[in-house]
Amino acid sequence: MYVVTGEEMHRIDRYTMEKIGLSEETLMENAGQAFCRQLFPTVGLEDRLVVLIGTGNNGGDGFVIGRILKEAGFLVDVIVIPREEKIRGTALKHKRIFENSGHEWITFREVQEHFEQLLTKYTIIIDAMLGTGMVGTPRWPYSDVIESVNGATGRVIAVDIPSGVTATEEKHEVGINADQTYTFQAAKISNFLYPAAFCFGEVHILDIGIPRIALENTFETRKLITDEKVKNSLAVRKQNAHKGVSGKALIIGGSIPMTGAIVLTTGACLRTGAGLVTVAVPDKILLGIAQKTTEAMFYPLPQKNGEIEIIPSHFPQDKTLSAYDGIAVGPGLGRNNKHNLYDTFNDFKGNLVIDADGLYHLVDELDKWRGGREGGPTIITPHLGEMARLTGKTVEEVELQRFRISKQFAMEYKVYLVLKGPFTIITAPDGRQWVNQTGNESLAKGGTGDTLTGMILGFLLQHEYITDAICNAVYIHGKTADELVKSQDILSVTASDIIEVLPKVLHSSRYQT
Ligand SMILES: NC(=O)C1=CN([C@@H]2O[C@H](COP(=O)(O)OP(=O)(O)OC[C@H]3O[C@@H](n4cnc5c(N)ncnc54)[C@H](O)[C@@H]3O)[C@@H](O)[C@H]2O)[C@H](O)CC1
Ligand SMILES: [K+]
């Protein structure tokens, strides 16, 4: 499942037409047919439907949909929003097919005076006005029509994308608030960017017959993490495994005011398969933490200002770090001391995960990190605020362009970047991206990020491919929250609950059919 911008989708369409030889008329017919196949089980003959049609190919899809619905005997009106002569190209061809089939449409101008009143009679409103070709902000009369549709009571289904929303990382001013969006062949990028994401409602991605090669050959990878991908890529443990080969993890952090974070990271790391976990914490708080992490071992460090210092002499590469396959640094680390992350970990050969206060300190030494470290892969897991600090941008700027900003950063600093939030985006150092769809607002709570860090580290120790490990951790983390809210209030979920249900969710994800 791909995620595309409008511009990429147009490139894919062109490839399909020019290199494969499938015509635009056929694709439009397929789009309308696929839309109706999805729609039919949800409508009854008592429903009153309206299709609102625009000038471009989105409107062309609307004529196909209108024709199929009328042929099937539904009560459906077709309203053309712009002036008739504006409809050209393939949309015009399907307008003629609609007319030649003996069907009628009306113009918006005819009903403009009582349009809002008219809308009240429809139980289903199909929005085929503006699609991926819209530029800027919808002009009149679309602007008024969008407002009226948003005030109507019927179920609103957007064709391909809600009119007014662009398939880009740009802010939209006004858009259809759809209950459902039936989108063609690939998800559209704005589906995963707020506030545009609010407009889409429930999304269904429909196959319209574009061959896979057209998607693979036209743009760089941006994909959805699917149930199937996770099921097929979860690590399998060999029958003759022992703790020494299941991955040795070191988790560095914890401070006098913050003892819980590292407990959560450790618990999640153990629950995702780590063979041995050692926790490096200030000596003063070791006992308290030890009481909550039965299975872990400890690496006590002298405390200064209630926190540890991450400097090469505390973690000699030849004696200490080389004993571990993976390291996570940052949970509960604190912000009082100066650290030297780059020089401490530059030569470390395993996977290095930097999170939370680790990212806070990373900002001070970013220059050193450009191009990545020499020893092995680095994975960073910022939320929007941390990403804003790392890039010197505002949270709003990052939120609007999460894909572009992640990609730039991951490629420049050669890191695997996990930009957390609703629809977490994972970016590899070569720019490939994956979008996660599991999870819900119960995760907006302290400690959930610490559990994700532990899960990422735990999976990294099990998996051959880094991106599989990260995608699976992000997916399962979200899915635990989805599982929890089935029986628990959305406000009540805690990070500890995630660790509790994690084993069950991991099991069901592995064996799901
Ligand atoms: N994905 C596929 O393979 C297929 C998608 N189809 C549908 O085609 C649209 C994209 O069609 P396109 O003609 O490029 O663009 P639109 O329909 O979105 O319409 C653009 C149309 O609107 C005018 N316009 C542009 N900006 C504005 C504005 N701000 N205000 C008012 N009007 C505007 C412009 O002049 C054009 O006339 C895609 O979403 C799918 O629904 C095809 O069916 C084929 C297969
Ligand atoms: K639309």
What CATH number does residue 455 fall under? Answer: 3.40.1190.20
pLDDT tens, the chain, 513 aa long: 899 999 999 999 999 999 999 999 999 999 999 999 999 999 998 999 999 999 999 999 999 999 999 999 999 999 999 999 999 999 999 999 999 999 999 999 999 999 999 999 999 999 999 999 999 999 999 999 999 999 999 999 999 999 999 999 998 889 999 999 999 999 999 999 999 999 999 999 999 999 999 998 877 789 999 999 999 998 887 877 777 778 999 999 999 999 999 999 999 999 999 999 999 999 999 999 999 999 999 999 999 999 999 999 999 998 899 999 999 999 999 999 999 999 999 999 999 999 999 999 999 999 999 999 999 999 999 999 999 999 999 999 999 999 999 999 999 999 999 999 999 999 999 999 999 999 999 998 899 999 999 999 999 999 889 999 999 999 999 999 999 999 999 999 999 999 999 999 999 998 877
Do 385 and 417 have their domain in common? yes
Mutating to test ligand 1, I would choose from 184, 207, 208 the residue with most ligand atoms within 8 A of its C-beta, which is 184
How many domains does one find in the chain? Answer: 2
Same domain, 312 and 343: yes
Q: Which of 190, 118, 129 is nearest to 153 (CA)?
A: 118
Same domain, yes or no, for 158 and 196? yes
Nearest CA to ligand 1 atom 15: 133
Cβ-based neighbours of 7, under 8 Å, separated by 6 or more: 167, 168
Atom of ligand 1 nearest to the CA of 210: 3
What pLDDT is attached to residue 437? 96
| pLDDT score for 251 | 97
Show which of 219, 248, 277 is a domain's final residue: 219
CA 499, 501, 505, 506 dihedral sign is positive
Closest CA to 158 of 136, 117, 188: 188
Contact in structure between 466 and 377 (CB atoms under 8 Å)? yes
pLDDT of residue 348: 97
Beta-bridge mates of residue 326: 249, 351
Shared domain check, 344 and 467: yes
Q: What is the pLDDT of residue 216?
A: 87
- In this structure, the answer to whether residues 184 and 299 fall within a common structural domain is no
Which ligand is nearest the CA of 59, by number? Answer: 1
| Ligand located closest to 159 CA | 2
Same domain, 198 and 247: no
Residue nearest atom 39 in ligand 1 by C-alpha distance: 131
Residues 323, 214 share a domain = no
Name the pTM for this structure: 0.94
Last residue of a domain, one of 164, 191, 219: 219
ipTM of the shown complex:
0.98
Residue 220's CB: how many other CB atoms inside 10 A?
Answer: 10
Token pair for 350: 């395993």
In a shared domain, residues 286 and 141: no
Feature table: binding site for (6S)-NADPHX = 57-61, 131-137, 142, 160, 261, 332, 383, 450
Question: What is the C-alpha R_g of the chain?
Answer: 26
DSSP β-bridge partners for residue 4? 188
Residues in contact with ligand 1 (CB, 6 Å cut-off): 9, 13, 24, 27-28, 31, 54-61, 130-139, 142, 159-161, 184-185, 208, 210
Q: Enter the tokens of residue 351.
A: 């996977």
Query: What local confidence, expressed as pLDDT, does residue 508 receive?
Result: 92
Say which CATH number the domain at 92 has: 3.40.50.10260
Give me the residues paired with residue 203 across strands. Answer: 181
Domain termination residue (choose one: 195, 219, 243): 219
Residue 438, pLDDT score: 97
Q: Please answer whether residues 461 and 332 qualify as being in contact, where contact means their C-beta atoms are separated by less than 8 angstroms.
A: no
Q: What is the phi/psi pair of residue 107, to 5°?
A: -95, 155
Burial, 487: exposed, middle or buried (Cβ in 10 Å; 0-12, 13-18, 19+)? exposed
What per-residue confidence (pLDDT) applies to 359?
Answer: 97
Ligand with minimal distance to 140 CA: 1
Give me the domain span that covers residue 322.
228-511
Cis before residue 503, ω within 30 degrees of 0? no
498 to 117, 235, 272, 489: CA distances (angstroms): 49, 20, 12, 14
Ligand 2: centre distance to CA 303 (Å) = 59
From 17, 160, 207, mutation site for ligand 1 pocket: most ligand atoms within 8 A of C-beta: 160
Identity of the residue numbered 39: L
> Same domain, yes or no, for 153 and 207?
yes
| 197 shares a domain with 346 | no
Q: Are 233 and 215 part of one and the same domain?
A: no
Claim to verify: residue 389 and residue 407 sit in the same structural domain: yes
Given this model, what pLDDT does residue 205 score?
A: 97
